[in-house]
Amino acid sequence: MGSCLKGKSEATAKAGAYKCKHCKAISEKKGHLCEPKKIKKDEKKKS
Ligand SMILES: [Zn+2]
Protein backbone atom coordinates (compact mmCIF):
# COMPACT_ATOMS: atom_id res chain seq x y z
CA MET A 1 0.00 0.00 0.00
CA GLY A 2 1.03 3.55 -0.55
CA SER A 3 3.24 2.68 -3.45
CA CYS A 4 2.66 4.79 -6.49
CA LEU A 5 4.76 6.45 -9.13
CA LYS A 6 3.30 9.81 -8.15
CA GLY A 7 2.93 11.06 -11.68
CA LYS A 8 6.19 9.57 -12.97
CA SER A 9 5.16 7.17 -15.70
CA GLU A 10 7.31 4.10 -16.24
CA ALA A 11 5.56 2.95 -19.40
CA THR A 12 3.89 4.43 -22.41
CA ALA A 13 0.12 4.59 -22.59
CA LYS A 14 -0.91 1.55 -24.53
CA ALA A 15 -3.54 -1.13 -24.37
CA GLY A 16 -3.02 -3.42 -21.43
CA ALA A 17 -1.07 -0.91 -19.40
CA TYR A 18 -2.53 0.87 -16.41
CA LYS A 19 -3.02 4.52 -15.69
CA CYS A 20 -3.40 5.86 -12.21
CA LYS A 21 -6.68 7.69 -11.82
CA HIS A 22 -5.23 9.62 -8.93
CA CYS A 23 -1.87 10.89 -10.21
CA LYS A 24 -1.98 10.03 -13.94
CA ALA A 25 1.17 7.88 -13.88
CA ILE A 26 1.31 4.97 -16.31
CA SER A 27 2.69 1.53 -15.57
CA GLU A 28 2.38 -1.96 -16.92
CA LYS A 29 2.15 -3.21 -13.35
CA LYS A 30 -0.98 -2.15 -11.57
CA GLY A 31 0.66 -2.77 -8.23
CA HIS A 32 2.80 0.29 -8.91
CA LEU A 33 -0.20 2.59 -8.95
CA CYS A 34 -2.52 3.74 -6.19
CA GLU A 35 -5.65 3.76 -8.36
CA PRO A 36 -4.89 1.69 -11.45
CA LYS A 37 -7.26 1.79 -14.37
CA LYS A 38 -6.60 -0.44 -17.33
CA ILE A 39 -6.04 1.34 -20.59
CA LYS A 40 -8.22 0.13 -23.39
CA LYS A 41 -6.91 -0.16 -26.90
CA ASP A 42 -9.43 2.37 -28.10
CA GLU A 43 -8.25 5.03 -25.73
CA LYS A 44 -6.82 7.97 -27.60
CA LYS A 45 -3.22 8.89 -27.29
CA LYS A 46 -2.07 12.37 -26.72
CA SER A 47 0.21 13.63 -29.41
ZN1 LIG B 1 -1.15 7.22 -8.21
pLDDT tens profile 2-33: 579 999 999 999 999 999 999 999 999 999 99
- 41 alpha carbon to ligand 1 midpoint, in Å? 21
Q: What is the predicted pLDDT for the residue at 3?
A: 79
- In the beta sheet, which residues pair with residue 20? 36
- 38 alpha carbon to ligand 1 midpoint, in Å? 13
User: Is residue 46 over pLDDT 70?
Assistant: no
Q: Structure pTM? A: 0.77
Q: What is the predicted pLDDT for the residue at 20?
A: 96
- 4 alpha carbon to ligand 1 midpoint, in Å? 5
Average pLDDT of the residues in 31-47: 82
- 11 alpha carbon to ligand 1 midpoint, in Å? 14
- 3 alpha carbon to ligand 1 midpoint, in Å? 8
Q: Are 4 and 27 in contact (CB under 8 A)?
A: no
Q: What is the predicted pLDDT for the residue at 45?
A: 61
Distances (CA, A) of 23 to 6, 33: 6, 9
